Amino acid sequence: MPKYPVITMIFAATLLWAPAAFAQNEYVQIQPNPSGVGTKMSFSATKLEVNDLELALKFYRDTLGMKESARMTSPTLREIMLKFDGDSEPTLVLVKHPEERKVEVGNAYGYLVITTPDINGLIARIRSNGFTVSGTPREAREFGLAGLIFLKDPEGRPIEIVELVKK
């Protein structure tokens, strides 16, 4: 079994999807997977195709605080895998295809949900990094949420930010 089976599966799936794209490629594993990953069925990643990889990194890595766990580059594709500190899975994979392949955000998908211990602090950080957050968080204690707000990433994808009720 490969040393990093989840990342290997993601890489292999991409190879099968676009084999010609990997004439020259580079794969860098930055954070190792925890032991036992890949030994049972589990959710391994969500891929978001983006138009502007640097803007997406500014939002997900620099603003929300995700850490880069791996990256894969080929002549026609770049993937950057992100996760929060302490998370083993799932991984968010930002995918960038060539410039001529325009990504349009549609409505045939769900949305990301991110849990934070300090929703107001996260909103302040998002705004201080130049991103927009409309409104203020609302409580939904009947669902165990001290705070809940929806916002959009730089390309318009909805994200739900929640803070759990502290016990």
CATH of the domain at 120: 3.10.180.10
- Please check the confidence at residue 29 and state whether its pLDDT lies above 50: yes
64-108 per-position pLDDT tens digit: 999 998 888 888 888 899 999 877 766 899 988 877 777 788 765
| Residue 101 belongs to a domain | no
Look at the alpha carbons of 125, 63, 47, 70 in this order and tell me if their dihedral is positive or negative: negative
46-66 per-position pLDDT tens digit: 889 898 999 999 999 999 999
Q: Are residues 91 and 117 located together in one domain of the fold? A: no
138-140 β-sheet, strand order: 112-115, 158-164, 145-152, 138-140
Which of the pair, 20 or 93, is modelled with greater confidence?
93
Domain that holds residue 87: 5-96
Q: What is the mean pLDDT of residues 25-31?
A: 67
Number of domains, the chain: 2
93-151 per-position pLDDT tens digit: 998 887 777 778 876 566 888 989 999 999 999 999 999 999 999 998 888 889 999 99
Do 45 and 92 meet the contact criterion of CB atoms below 8 Å apart? Answer: yes
